[in-house]
Amino acid sequence: MTLDLLRAVAAQLVCVGHAYSFFIGAWPAGLPYIQNVGVLLFFLLSGFLITHTLVSRSIKPDYGFLQFFIDRFARIYSGLIPALMFVVAVDWFVLYLTAEPTIARYYTLKTFIANLFMLEGYRGAFPNALQWSAFGSASPLWTLAIEWHIYMFAGSVFFMCRNPRTIPLLAPVALFFGQTPVHFLFGSFQSDGVGRGLFSLWLAGAAIYVVARLPYRLPAAALLAFVSAVAFVAITPAGKEYSFVGYPLLTAVVLGIVAVTQRRHRITSERVQRTIGFFADYSFSLYLVHHTIMVGIWLLLPDRGVPVFVLAVALSNAVAIGLASIGENRHKIIARFLTGKFCLQSRHAAHTAS
């Protein structure tokens, strides 16, 4: 439940932060942009969750890279496909009315296909052929592509270490998908430092999974989270969120929160659990589509200020809830279908070979 809460909070931070920048502006220079903090939280949580998934599910002897791939594919693409279709429709409508060149530049079939193959965040040996921009107005997609490359790299390395016989099959996967994570150990997405060291932060999230399982005293863990959060805000001005100086502090915040909640024995009410689950269940869709909605509002409505800010946040949440109901909320069903299909094909191939 704690991770669901953090995931929901991270998505809302990104949504509200972008809405503030679009329709209010004048963010306090001494405070970090909350939308960037949300992105950092996503990478920390991703490292924790993927490590937990690999360690816990690999206890079963039949859990291998194929099942890991199916699970990740279903989780990501169940949300991505509806979101991309939404972006196609909204951007087309906005372009029809405004002919906005910044959208039109990336509203192409080639860019769309590149985004389907997660190439918008690629940083590797073939930049001229494989490095693309995010599709249309959906600029947050660049982080999703980085996540996908990390998933494939981390998964392939894990299963090669677990079963050396898989090295001939998984080594090419690791070599290709490892290019982007290696870049993001210390490199950035843009020359101004945006995205710097995101894989380092992901690895810090993986370390939290190990360290948080140690015995902690509740007051010490709570104090760690609080003091680290205050320190992170104090030393991180606007635009400097992607800094190795602040990463340990943000990691300590999440570690403290996870340690506190894991040691608590009081059962949270079902109503609170349902509320947290509700917001977490559409957080991925919200992250994917909110920016497109806000670009459209910004271009089509001349007004600015608090009312439009509230409209943008509310509309983004409403659309994300609808898209999640047909997309990301069905990822387990999709995963079971794909698992059954691949298992059936594998059994048929084995029977034919025998």
Q: What is the pLDDT of residues 132-180, one digit of tens each?
A: 999 999 999 999 999 999 999 999 999 999 999 999 999 999 999 999 9
**Which residues of the chain carry a pLDDT beneath 50?**
347-354
Q: How far is CA 137 from CA 91, 95, 105, 217, 232, in A?
A: 7, 11, 10, 46, 31
| 44 closest CA partner among 212, 208, 210 | 208
What are 187-239's pLDDT values in tens digits? Answer: 999 989 999 999 999 999 999 998 877 666 778 888 999 999 999 999 999 99
Q: Is the dihedral of CA 150, 154, 160, 163 positive or negative?
A: negative
Residue 81, number of CB atoms within 10 A of its CB: 15
